[in-house]
Amino acid sequence: MMVLPMLLSVIGLMGLFEALVTPEMIQSVFKGSVLSDTLIGTGVGAISVGQPFLSYAIGGELLDEGVSLYAVTAFILSFVTLGLIQLPLEWSLFGTRFTVLRNILSFIFALLISIATVFILGLIQ
């Protein structure tokens, strides 16, 4: 029950994000180089919130604009595994060590999985 204020805060922040940040704003951030776009993708996904399908829709748009699959995959993954807005709640419930560990690992693996996915797809297609 004590977690309710925090939960409401998270939901409140998500509402603000959805109202103020447009998909176009997100798309404009990607530059064109594979390496930096993948890092940018992971970072943007980390601070973004919303329904998962939103990441697929934005990801699809990014692909159409020529952003690399590495970046889009990393974006989709970090969108759903990392959350700047949920961080205070996570930290308050799980402690510093767990939160830091989990988020660092999620970040690293967003990059690793995106590389592996593109590599494997390249092999089988």
Contact residues toward other proteins (CB under 8 A) are 3, 5-16, 18-20, 52-53, 56-57, 59-60, 63, 73, 76-77, 80-81, 83, 86, 88-90, 93-94, 98, 101-102, 105-106, 109, 112-113, 116-117, 120-121, 124-125
Shortest distance, CB of residue 118 to other proteins, whole angstroms?
9
In whole angstroms, how large is the CA radius of gyration of the chain?
A: 15
Q: What is the DSSP letter of 50?
A: S
**Of the two residues 2 and 28, which places its CB atom closer to other proteins in the complex?**
2
